[in-house]
A and B are shown apart, each in its own frame.
Chain A
Amino acid sequence: MRWDWSLLAPEYLLAGWAALMALLGLWGRLRAYWLGYVAAAGALASAATSLIWLGDRTAFGDLLAVDHYTTFFRVTFGLIAASVCLISAGYVERFLRHHGEYYAILVVSVIGATYMAAAQELLSAYIALELLSFSLYVLASYAKMDLRSNEGGLKYMLLGAFSSALFLYGLGLIYAVTKTTHYQGIAEALAGDLGGTKGLALLGLSLIVVGLGFKVSAVPFHMWAPDAYEGAPLPVTAFISAISKAAGFALFLKLMVQAFLPLHDDWSPLLASLATVTMLLGNLVAVHQRNIKRLLAYSSIGQVGYLLAGIAALSPETANAASAVLLHLAGYVISNLAAFACVTVYYNWTGKEDIYEYRGLAERAPFVALALSISLFSLAGMPLFAGFVTKFVLFQAIAEADLLWLAAVAVFASFVSLYYYLMVMRQMYLVEPETRERLGVAWPEYGLVAVLVVAIFVVGLGPQPLFNAAQEAASLVYQGAATFAALSP
């Protein structure tokens, strides 16, 4: 076994950067506004450092894999964190206190997210999951004087602790059956003769699914999400909706492929039904929302439904569904961050977050209105935009896995989602504004929004590079699982 500590360099960088952010906040020499840029630079540097291991297939001991999959997510998480830091810069300076700690916690949470994707073993995965969750609990209740933030944070923490307990119990049962915590060992044990313990293994697996379902807010475990999203400070909402979903699915996908594929026939229907409920309920309830944060919360629940459908469509033979899930995850993260960046810019100007307050935005701030429309179109899955390509590939993979009905439900849910996204655009473009006064220009935020919008079009029009990256990442996860293929009948 090799304990090559240098493999973890991107995370050392993040940890050091977190300490630096805390110290910068402590000394107070730097204006709070610039802290966001410093933190973003650290996140980007970590993402860049991870490219050193591009194409490598190695592991830290037998705990953390450093391969394409890990690199894919290191880069994704680094970019998410950098974007959120940039979104935060203006907001945090104006509305929050203790700026240094804010960025320190944000940067630390990326480490947790990364190790969730990198873990090859249940306990490492669990610790990483808790590192991410703890950071997010603190961030969600960061507006100390705001009751809604406190309420959302408390709900998030209580349900998070509950789900962690379920997850841990699931891990315990799986360990009891397979006598190992390593994904590959679990797959080998599950592929063999289980005798009377199969029920126990399935119970453990269901508990793990429920625990992770809470973390990624799948229906019926989604109750905390709208309240936490609404209460949390806006950039934190953006961060939770992006990184906790991405990291949750990174872990979910790897776990299902590398550890539980031998039980595929048992969990596939379970996940398919979860996905159905999540897609329908998330999208239908979103129609009624009046607050843009709650709307985006429910829309992200709907997106979780599509991703769960993709996981239900995993199969032992091909890695198509796995790479489709990764691709859609990336597309969702880009579009969602763009939407949240626009919402934050508007909030910084006006302090308003109800959908009807967006009336006439097209006249008052045309660029924000246009960018928000583009990101919402992308979330809905309109052609030209990233959402279309990623959804198309995902639904195709679902249909190919003999789950045509599930793909049909997903398409129906997408149509529903188009309705409520269009309602926001109706407010912005068709309703008369309160005043015709222009809202000013926020150049730094505009720069970020422009980059994200360009990314939406790049993925929408030329998805090949991202698709290739997703495919290579997914195929590596499958190669890791290949050992069991020889064992299973």
Chain B
Amino acid sequence: MVAELFQQYVGVVVATVAGFVLVGAALFANRLLAPRQATRAKGLTYECGMLPIGRGRLQIHFRYYLFAILFLVFDIEAVFLFPWALSFLDVGAMAFYEMLLFIIALGFGLYYAWRKGVLQWR
């Protein structure tokens, strides 16, 4: 029965191994086939084709973490909203109210952060 249990995972193992092999093969083939000519321009940081401005080691202000957290609020909301939008007609009124509650809870979080002055850049 244990063997039977693990047999279900054979596909996963095969996919994992195949994935590694494919990526490895692509990288290897790239090394083999691609022409290599190092120039100074090629070593530059890629910035949408323009010449890079400033140095590569750019520091991001620590204050952004609060925005990142607030972004997560809406990110998670989207993750739940899309599947819900597809199926809430089938599930019925309950699904509507549950999502309403969820959005109210998230809205409360935003209101709280707003009133706490998180959105102000001081």
Give chain A's interface residues, CB within 8 Å of chain B.
19, 22, 26, 176, 195-197, 199-200
Contact = CB atoms under 8 A, between A and B. Distances in A.
Contact of B1 (A19, A22, A26, A197): A197
A196 B115 contact: no
Contacts, number: 16
Contact of B2 (A22, A26, A197): A197
16 contacts: A19-B108, A22-B112, A26-B112, A26-B115, A26-B116, A176-B5, A195-B1, A196-B1, A196-B2, A196-B3, A197-B1, A197-B2, A197-B5, A199-B2, A200-B2, A200-B5
A70 B50 CA distance: 65
B77 to A, nearest CB: 18
A347 B112 CA distance: 32
Interface of B: 1-3, 5, 108, 112, 115-116
Nearest to B114: A26
Contacts of A19: 108
Main secondary structure of the interface of A (DSSP, over half): helix
A176 B9 CA distance: 12
B99 to A, nearest CB: 16
A113 B105 CA distance: 21
Contacts of B116: 26
A26 B114 CA distance: 10
Nearest to A98: B116
Nearest to B94: A3
Nearest to A27: B115
B82 to A, nearest CB: 22
Contacts of A176: 5
B60 to A, nearest CB: 22
A195 B115 CA distance: 60
A196 B116 CA distance: 58
Nearest to A101: B112
A267 B67 CA distance: 48
Contacts of B115: 26
A169 to B, nearest CB: 15
A199 B2 CA distance: 9
Sort A-B residue pairs by CB-CB distance and give the 3 closest, nearest first. A195-B1, A196-B2, A197-B1
B96 to A, nearest CB: 15
Contacts of A199: 2
Contacts of B5: 176, 197, 200
A65 B49 CA distance: 62
B93 to A, nearest CB: 13
A22 B108 CA distance: 10
A196 B6 CA distance: 13
Nearest to A5: B94
A197 B2 CA distance: 6
Contacts of A196: 1-3
Most buried by A among B3, B112, B115: B112
A434 to B, nearest CB: 43
A305 to B, nearest CB: 35
A464 B24 CA distance: 71
Contacts of B108: 19
A238 to B, nearest CB: 27
A28 to B, nearest CB: 10
B9 to A, nearest CB: 10
Nearest to A193: B1
Contacts of B2: 196-197, 199-200
A19 B106 CA distance: 12
Contacts of B1: 195-197
B65 to A, nearest CB: 14
B66 to A, nearest CB: 14
B107 to A, nearest CB: 12
A49 B41 CA distance: 72
A175 to B, nearest CB: 11
Nearest to A173: B5
Contacts of A197: 1-2, 5
Contacts of A195: 1
Contacts of A26: 112, 115-116
